[in-house]
Structure 1
Amino acid sequence: MKRILVVDDNHDILDALDLLLSLHDYQVVTASTVKDAVIAATNQQIDLIIQDMNFSQGTTSGAEGKSLFYQFKDITPDTPIIVITAWSQLETAIELVKSGAADYLPKPWNDTKLLQTISENVQQNTPAKSQKISSVTNQLIIESAPMKQLIAMAGKVAASDISVLITGANGSGKERIADYIHQNSPRSAQPFIKVNMGALASELMEAELFGAEKGAYTGATSMRLGRFEAADGGTLFLDEIGNLPLAGQMKLLRVLQTGQFERVGSSETISVDVRVISATNSDLLQAIKDNLFREDLYYRLNVVELNLPPLNQRQDDILPLTYHFIGDDYQLSEDVKQLLPKQPWHGNVRELENHCKRAVVLCSDNLLLSEHFMLANQAFTPIKIDDDKTLLKSVLDKHQWVIARAANELGMSRQALYRRIEKHQISQESDS
């Protein structure tokens, strides 16, 4: 069992991370002071560290976190460190990434993203393990011919600095391909910064990408470092690029052409060296016809296009991915092995992962059956409202209504779980 040291002066955060990580089979060591953190790192075998940036009441500069980071590097130089930070310490967090931090995540963090980052860095920090029936390349599980061809092309473009556009349906794994390109590029030791354009309010996109000066817009109480500056020397991954407004597209085109931009509210020109990888599930050529996307930007982004096929077109990947998602503690029945590749998988890899999580929740032993996956002979049996409500209630009760824990078991966000609870009018006292 891997041991993770979590350092934060907020005991609620320590409790939340302790619960989340324990549920995913990590041994958790917590420290609320710099002294306790240093003692833990010195006297215990730690596989990964998660640290906050401030540990004294009223401090916001991030100086304490910076100092602790370098102490950790002296004590245990090979241990991956993930920095959790507020926007006010983002510039310091970027400095730490350039100094060897594995990654930084903003507060409040996304549970799924945090677990993924931990998994990637813990596995990178340990000897490689053989997989059941799959080939794993930088955490890419590939057995199908289309994916092997795509990865071969990705490996070729990784060595250059050209812009890459990754296309494919939602949930098909575009971010994984972008990460693979970065990790196999000459920039692999530099930051890999990800931005989901679809998750940002349109009025904040320019500030997110290019930064903003204090007072540049309502709520800008301090200078905001943009993602281009954060990615200087490394790679910037722009997911759902089709959502970028036209004004932002013009500024992005300029950066791609010159490597220069200005923060929102500033006339000072900043120069960066950043490779851009973008991704979309939309038809950008149609968006160009509709005057929603700049044609010149499209051809700047699309020097090479990697089209990621949907999961139902790479059936040889389905069972390897399933084994990866269920882990070594569970087995598949023979009928499940036959049925899984026959499903339509409209939600692609993400849908498969969610069904695996549900199957594990519903299974009472270690053998996963078709009913645990809600499989029929040719397609998924539609989930009836009563069945959905029963499943949600049973998982919530199992975890004493700790929403973060239940949401992770069900493979959905906390917000999505809250919406389901409201939709089905579920309460702790209600009958399933």
Structure 2
Amino acid sequence: MKRILVVDDNPDILDALDLLLSLHNYQVITASTIKEALFAANNQRIDLIIQDMNFSQGTTSGEEGRCLFYQLQEIVPTTPIIIITAWGQLEIAVELVKAGAADYLPKPWNDIKLLDIIAENIIEPANNSNEKSAQKNNNTTENTSSNFIVESQPMKQLVAMANKVANSDISVLITGANGSGKERIADYIHQNSPRHTNPFTKVNMGALASELMEAELFGAEKGAYTGATAMRKGRFEAANGGTLFLDEIGNLSLAGQMKLLRVLQTGQFERVGSSETITVDVRVISATNSHLPQAIEDNTFREDLYYRLNVVELNLPPLAQRQDDIIPLARHFISGSHQLSEQAASLLKQQPWPGNVRELENHCQRAMVLCADEMLLPEHFMLGANSAKVDCSLSINKAESIALDASADKVNLQAVLDKHEWVIARAANELGLSRQALYRRIEKHQLSQTEEH
């Protein structure tokens, strides 16, 4: 299970992110101070970090977050760091992304966008080599194709068209509502194409600030801007020989559209700070939930770029129009020994699913957490009138937990910390201590995480 360190001085934000990430099978470690964050980074295996920018009451400059970021970079230089910032600190956030941060999100953040950024960076960080990306794609090709859940007639027709375009190099525009599975279709096309042994690289265009777009897509030379301490490859270069998926293309600025058009026309670009022209062989698949023809009329999207991207359009219908897919998808999302009851299946088929497949997956994850046994009932999905009927038997079985008081000795402290894989919040809860008190005892006894074998 991937481990995420969340650093924020607001306990409500820590709780909210802990719940969100736990529902999506991430192990969460929380820290409310800079000291706790540095301690966790020094003593535990961390796969990704989410950090706030201010940690002292009344502080709003973002300088504390800047200092923490650079300290974390020294301790765990290869661990992706996502910045969560207030609007007034966007300039610092942009600086940190240029210095190597995986991404940033303004407060209040969008849960779906945050999860997408985490998935992109925790599975295949941007600084992975092409060789690793190719190996990943080689290992997952068969599973990706065979596990595509398609039962409804509209989806069977769409997949048949996807198979037809997969063998060519033409640009494909995938349209459809948020959460309907556009990225999944793009991945399917790549995995069934002659390029499947080469990288499938994803870029969320809607999340790119205009100041970062050029460096993110085309790379930058060392010293090209403040914080550029090493040469950075862009996404086009990383995708060479493979497929580049440009999600939320409708949100790209006009300036960004002009730069993108050139590389699509010529296959050539220069890194920021360099005069050397680089040529790449990349297939582009893009996606949007926007109505681009209307955007063209409104002069917010270039018509020439639209026709360059839209050689073939695949329109992905919303989940409500593909009812035959709902139950097979739900059963796919339900893992382990859990089973879907007939009553729950009937309830799922009656829902409008405005969030589409992503919303269905979230409800399935939540249902498994709320279910005390193996049978998932309507109340576990918290839908409509059933949302108030929560199974409260989820709480930890106290007979199986280790009852320790605040004066627990070194051996017991080590045992509980190792049991919870050093997730401080969970260990502190079992010990009946606050996180701060547990940190003090760890320092007192000079405890460290047991090596994993």
| TM tier relative to shorter chain | 0.5 to 0.7
Q: In 2, Cα distance between the equivalents of 1:160 and 1:196? A: 24
Q: In 2, Cα distance between the equivalents of 1:382 and 1:280? A: 33
Residue 385 of structure 2, aligned match among 381, 385, 395: 381
Q: In 2, Cα distance between the equivalents of 1:315 and 1:231? A: 36
Q: Determine the structure 2 residue equivalent to 1:230.
A: 238
Q: Determine the structure 1 residue equivalent to 2:367.
A: 359
> Which one-letter code corresponds to 2:233 in the other structure?
L
Residue 228 of structure 2, aligned match among 220, 227, 238: 220
Q: In 1, Cα distance between the equivalents of 2:423 and 2:135? A: 31
Q: In 2, Cα distance between the equivalents of 1:403 and 1:284? A: 47
Is 1:141 equivalent to 2:149 in the alignment?
A: yes
Residues 388-407 of structure 1 show CA distances to partners (whole Å, capped at 9, x for unaligned) of 9x98x969x998995999xx
Q: Determine the structure 2 residue equivalent to 1:309.
A: 317
Alignment of 1:408-427 (within 5 A): none
List gaps (5 residues or longer) in structure 2: 4-20, 28-73, 79-120, 402-419, 427-433, 436-453
Q: In 1, Cα distance between the equivalents of 2:238 and 2:193? A: 18
Is 1:290 equivalent to 2:294 in the alignment?
A: no
> Which one-letter code corresponds to 1:156 in the other structure?
K
Is 1:169 equivalent to 2:203 in the alignment?
A: no
Residue 248 of structure 2, aligned match among 240, 244, 265: 240
Whichever of the two has the greater Rg, that structure is 2
Residue 352 of structure 2, aligned match among 318, 329, 344: 344
Secondary structure class of the residue paired with 2:328 = helix
Q: In 1, Cα distance between the equivalents of 2:283 and 2:217? A: 14
Residue 97 of structure 1, aligned match among 119, 123, 132: 132
Cα distance change on mapping 1:147 and 1:401 into 2, 3 Å = farther
Residues 343-398 of structure 1 show CA distances to partners (whole Å, capped at 9, x for unaligned) of 010000111011111111111111111111123xxxx23856xx89x98x969x99
Q: In 1, Cα distance between the equivalents of 2:187 and 2:424? A: 30
Q: In 1, Cα distance between the equivalents of 2:350 and 2:201? A: 36
Cα distance change on mapping 1:394 and 1:173 into 2, 3 Å = farther
Q: In 2, Cα distance between the equivalents of 1:58 and 1:178? A: 36
Q: In 1, Cα distance between the equivalents of 2:276 and 2:76? A: 29
> Which one-letter code corresponds to 1:101 in the other structure?
Q
Alignment of 1:66-215 (within 5 A): 90=127, 93-97=128-132, 100-102=134-136, 121=139, 137-215=145-223
Cα distance change on mapping 1:404 and 1:202 into 2, 3 Å = farther
Cα distance change on mapping 1:341 and 1:289 into 2, 3 Å = same
Q: In 1, Cα distance between the equivalents of 2:130 and 2:252? A: 27
Residues 57-112 of structure 1 show CA distances to partners (whole Å, capped at 9, x for unaligned) of 99989xxxxxxxxxxxxxxxxxxxx997876xx3xx324236x5316xxxxxxxxx
Secondary structure class of the residue paired with 1:142 = coil
Secondary structure class of the residue paired with 1:217 = coil
Contact 1:213–1:263 at 8 Å: present in 2 too? yes
Residues 15-55 of structure 1 show CA distances to partners (whole Å, capped at 9, x for unaligned) of xxxx99xx689xxxxxxxxxxxxxxxxxxxxxxxxxxxxxx
1:170 CA drift (Å):
0.8
Secondary structure class of the residue paired with 1:237 = strand
Cα distance change on mapping 1:59 and 1:167 into 2, 3 Å = closer
1:247 CA drift (Å):
1.7
Q: In 2, Cα distance between the equivalents of 1:403 and 1:168? A: 41
> Which one-letter code corresponds to 2:324 in the other structure?
D
1:185 CA drift (Å):
0.6
Cα distance change on mapping 1:233 and 1:400 into 2, 3 Å = closer
Higher alpha-carbon deviation: 257-266 or 156-165: 257-266
Contact 2:217–2:235 at 8 Å: present in 1 too? yes
TM-score (normalised: structure 1): 0.62
Q: In 2, Cα distance between the equivalents of 1:401 and 1:383? A: 33
TM-score (normalised: structure 2): 0.59
Is 1:370 equivalent to 2:370 in the alignment?
A: no
> Which one-letter code corresponds to 1:96 in the other structure?
E
Q: Determine the structure 1 residue equivalent to 2:83.
A: none
1:151 CA drift (Å):
0.2
Aligned Cα RMSD in Å? Answer: 4.1
Contact 2:135–2:197 at 8 Å: present in 1 too? no
> Which one-letter code corresponds to 2:265 in the other structure?
Q
Q: In 1, Cα distance between the equivalents of 2:216 and 2:129? A: 14
1:303 CA drift (Å):
0.4
1:228 CA drift (Å):
0.4
Alignment of 1:7-86 (within 5 A): none
> Which one-letter code corresponds to 2:356 in the other structure?
N
List gaps (5 residues or longer) in structure 1: 7-18, 26-56, 62-81, 104-119, 129-135, 406-426
Contact 1:359–1:372 at 8 Å: present in 2 too? yes
Residue 333 of structure 1, aligned match among 338, 341, 357: 341
Contact 1:138–1:180 at 8 Å: present in 2 too? no
